[in-house]
A and B are shown apart, each in its own frame.
Chain A
Amino acid sequence: MADNIIVVDASGLSCPQPVMETKKALAGLSSGHVEILVDTATSRNNVTRFAENQGWKAVSEEREDGGFKVVLNK
């Protein structure tokens, strides 16, 4: 549902906080569209791995500032 997009900005946070913020955002959601913003490839990979382990489909795209947007759908 496009009107229910949740965006979490975890840019610049140390490990494991981007994943913890993702966990918080996904908690209780059985489906939806969630976007996680991160600034490093490590955080992108960690968020992707975590979300996929929870059964979410993850697609990441590079942002203009060099960071990443990880788009999660279920």
Chain B
Amino acid sequence: MKSFDDLLTSRQGPWIAGGVIGLVAVALAYLGNPGNMGFCVACFTRDIAGALKFHNAPVVQYIRPEITGFILGSFLSAFLFREYSPRGGSSPLVRFGLGVFAMLGALVFLGCPWRAYLRVAGGDWNALYGVAGLVVGVLIGIMFLVKGFSLGAAHKNPKFAGLIMPVIAVALLAFLFIKPSFIAFSEKGPGSQHAPALIALAVGLLVGWLAQRTRFCTVGAIRDVFLMRDFYLFKGILAFIIVAFGANYALGLFKPGFESQPVAHSDQLWNFLGMVLSGLAFTLAGGCPGRQLIMAGEGDSDSGVFVLGMLVGAAIAHNFGAASSGAGIGALGAHVTIIGLVFCLCVGFFSRQKI
């Protein structure tokens, strides 16, 4: 165990984590998750928001055990390897706003960065516009970082504070398995498509552990290449995409093209701009949505607040008709994207802090 952890935390660790995560992502889609949606932190958080009736879109309501697994896998890993460290207090409300708009941008595109890569690995070329937008969003974020952007330092929190997100994850799991009447479950649409719950939970725990050890981050990977010429995290997403492509190809799930892609639309401009918004919001917040879940599991309250922002963003997206569907972007999709970009640019311009 010790020697495997040494390998995992070595400079080559991201190859292993990214490869395994790519493989199990395709396995989950094969076992029942929606197409090219082995993992989608945005879509899955949105489904949880629906299950809790924060929104009432009947086709996207399900408690995705993968999300709870990410938090709990990271929590257990951090605890075991003495990296559990409750902290917080770095502009929490700004981070909440970044979470809201990161989600709104992702739901205009129809996927978080994890799913953007998985869509490409499945042959959905619409996602290439999303990945391009993601890179542009990260580059704008880098511009602010270079000019001294900071949301301020977090501080140590009481040990108890770091338990809140893991406890929420356990409560969600209880809702999934007990199925109380106040929780909604989709009977059709993407929310009704899911891998067996126990398998999805086990995979979520596995990914939570691997990502906690290797710091797997689908946004930091791009950021570090441009900002520091550091390819450590990039190895992770490269392995993730290559293995997911191979697995899709082997299972007959690779279907190249623009048309008739699962849970996707072909509006190139808004696929691009939605991910510019997401990429910028994630960069300003310090990591992709998966990374925010992992850090929340490690006890980072600021990441916890970001995740709760995503949950509210999902509710706004569906309650106000801002979420896209296979038919195209929602009535307010363009509006929230522009508002989100203005918000993020303001955050970038006005959050400079000398340490």
Contacts and interface: CB of A to CB of B under 8 A. Distances in A.
Contact of B286 (A14, A21, A53): A14
A6 interface: no
Contact of B355 (A10, A49, A65): A10
Interface residues of B, number: 31
A11 B224 CA distance: 20
Contacts, number: 66
Interface in B228-266: 228, 230, 232
Interface string B148-165: 001111111000000000
A12 B298 CA distance: 14
A41 interface: yes
B227 interface: yes
B220 interface: yes
A14 B90 contact: yes
A39 B230 contact: no
Interface of B: prevailing SS: loop
B64 interface: no
B153 A66 contact: no
A39 B87 contact: yes
Interface string A3-15: 0000001111111
A40 interface: yes
Given A14-B285, A16-B286, A53-B230, 17 more contacts: A10-B355, A11-B153, A12-B89, A12-B90, A12-B153, A14-B90, A14-B150, A14-B286, A14-B302, A16-B220, A16-B223, A16-B227, A17-B150, A20-B145, A39-B154, A39-B156, A46-B215
5 contacts: A15-B217, A16-B223, A19-B228, A39-B85, A49-B11
Interface of A: 9-17, 19-21, 23, 39-42, 45-46, 49-50, 53, 65-66
Interface of B: 9, 11, 83, 85, 87, 89-90, 145-146, 150-156, 215, 217, 220, 223-224, 227-228, 230, 232, 285-287, 298, 302, 355
